[in-house]
Amino acid sequence: MRAKRSALALAIFVFDFLLYATFTFRALAAAGWCSSMLNGLLAGISIAMLFVVGHDACHGSFTANRTWNHWIGRLAFLPSLTPFRAWEIGHNQTHHVYTNLRPLDYVWMPFSKTEFDRLPRWRRALERCYRTPPGVGLYYATEIWARRLLFARHQGCLADRCLCLAYAAALGCLALPFGWRAWLTAVLWPFVCWNWAMGWAIFEHHTHPRVRWFDDERAWRAAGAQLSCTVHAVLPRPLDVLLHHIMQHTAHHLDVTIPLYQLRQAQATLEAESGRIVVYRWTPLTFFRHLRTCKLYDFDRQVWVGFDGKIHA
Q: Is the dihedral of CA 113, 115, 117, 120 positive or negative?
A: negative
pLDDT tens track, the chain, 313 positions: 999 999 999 999 999 999 999 999 999 999 899 999 999 999 999 999 999 999 999 999 999 999 999 999 999 999 999 999 999 999 999 999 999 999 999 999 999 999 999 999 999 999 999 999 999 999 999 999 999 999 988 878 899 999 999 999 999 999 999 999 999 999 999 999 999 999 999 999 999 999 999 999 999 999 998 899 999 999 999 999 999 999 999 999 999 999 999 999 999 999 998 778 999 999 999 999 999 999 999 999 999 999 999 998 7
The strand pairing partners of 303, in sequence order, are: 298
Pairing state between β 278-281 and 231-234: parallel
Summarised one tens digit per residue, pLDDT across range 249-266 is 999 999 999 999 999 999
Report yes or no: 106 and 94 within 8 Å, Cβ to Cβ: yes
Residue 17 contacts by C-beta under 8 Å, 6 or more apart in sequence?
A: 50, 75, 76
Say if residue 168 is exposed, middle or buried (CB neighbours under 10 Å; 0-12, 13-18, 19+): middle
How far does the chain reach from its first CA to its final CA, in angstroms?
38
Helix (H, G, I), strand (E, B) or coil at 265: helix
b/e 283-297 (16+ beta carbons within 10 angstroms → b): eeeebeebbebbbbb
Cα separation, 83 vs 77, whole angstroms: 7
Say if residue 312 is exposed, middle or buried (CB neighbours under 10 Å; 0-12, 13-18, 19+): middle
Cα separation, 98 vs 93, whole angstroms: 8
Q: Residue type for 86, please?
A: A
Model's pTM, two decimal places?
0.96
Cα separation, 133 vs 285, whole angstroms: 11
Helix (H) or strand (E) holding 278, with range, is strand 278-281
Residue 264 contacts by C-beta under 8 Å, 6 or more apart in sequence?
A: 240, 245, 248
Residue 92 contacts by C-beta under 8 Å, 6 or more apart in sequence?
A: 58, 59, 256
Closest among 18, 87, 78, 99 to 56, alpha carbons compared: 87
